[in-house]
Amino acid sequence: MKKYFNKLLLITLTVLVFSACKKQEDVIYYQGGTAPVLSATVTGTIPLVVATKTSPAVGFSWTNPNYVFSDGISSQNVSYYIEFDTLGANFTNPNMQQVGVTGNLDSVFTQDNLNTILSSPAKLGLAYGIPHNIQVRLVSFLGNNQVQLISNVLSFVVTPFAPPPAVTPPKTGTLYIVGSAVAGGWGNPISAGSIAAQTFTQVSNTDYTITLAIIGGQEFKLIDANGSWTDQWSTAVTDNPLSVTGTGNNTFTNVFVYNGQNSIAPPVSGNYTFEVNFQTGKYTFIQQ
């Protein structure tokens, strides 16, 4: 009986050892890959022109990273990031942009699309109308950003264009405020004694600013020619002081349109810096 038990134990151990070895053999190991090589359809300067914004700006293509595992080349879908950053930031800029690509070995950007990536304040935020040096690279990865491989870096010069303003700015380059929200009232032409206080300073083609006393909760319009109502700007519908949303320390922002209804000033009277941005179609009151 003892001999029989020992023999059975030996057989059992042999089976367990064999099973353990087989289980180890089934483990798949990552063995490496090849960093992708990135290339582009243009070199030097990437054209960005508002008149041809729907045309291709640049196309990128890259080699397969060929991820290799112990059971062969990976059959998983490989994902990629095309990364855009400014020269010198070395892809550490907090505003660096990543554009995801899955399953392809190329990607084409229109001028409008690339311009948005590079110049939108919510993205890379490059200034309009000024040449910038940028760099582009590709990062490949599997799963949740695992086993990343990084390509070579390409350098370009780009000059972002300003998109069309949300609201057409004054043709005259001048802007005035009239209405019951200001001391000069609705008088148009504006009286000689009030015109200086009701005239905006033009900061750019689309930005205007003025600092003046505002009567809380009253109405106003913006005009571009003293003595004319032809071109005027205000809100889309008649609003009220509560619709001018406070954002931060006594800052009130609202949208405006060309030839709309009367706008309503902030609810509290006081001195305000009034900023009008035709590019975004928003105006802002900042209490002083």
Res 237: pLDDT: 62
- Domains 30-158 and 176-287 are alike in CATH topology: yes
Res 243: pLDDT: 47
Confidence band of 14 (pLDDT split at 50, 70, 90): very low
Res 4: pLDDT: 41
What is the torsion angle, in degrees rounded to the nearest 10, for the CA atoms of residue 208, residue 213, residue 218 and residue 221?
Answer: -30
Task: Give the domain ranges of the chain.
Answer: 30-158, 176-287
Q: What is the CATH number assigned to the segment(s) 30-158? A: 2.60.40.10
Q: Is residue 251 predicted with pLDDT exceeding 70?
A: no
Q: How far is CA 204 from CA 121, 134, 207, 238, in A?
A: 17, 26, 5, 28
DSSP assignment of 151-169? ---EEEEE-PPPPPPSSPP
Res 19: pLDDT: 46
Mean pLDDT calculated for residue range 39-58: 96
Res 235: pLDDT: 82
CB-CB contact of 110 with 99 (8 Å): no
Res 208: pLDDT: 97
Confidence band of 121 (pLDDT split at 50, 70, 90): confident
In this predicted structure, which of 23-32, 79-88, 151-160, 170-179 has the lowest mean pLDDT? 23-32
pLDDT higher at 119 or 74: 119
Q: Is residue 3 predicted with pLDDT exceeding 60?
A: no
Q: Is residue 236 predicted with pLDDT exceeding 80?
A: no
Q: Is residue 141 predicted with pLDDT exceeding 90?
A: yes
Which helix (H) or strand (E) segment is 14 a member of? helix 2-25
CB-CB contact of 163 with 120 (8 Å): no
Please tell me what DSSP assigns to residue 46.
Answer: -
Architecture of the domain spanning 176-287: Sandwich (2.60)
Check: pTM over 0.85? Answer yes or no. Answer: no
CB-CB contact of 214 with 275 (8 Å): no
Confidence band of 209 (pLDDT split at 50, 70, 90): very high
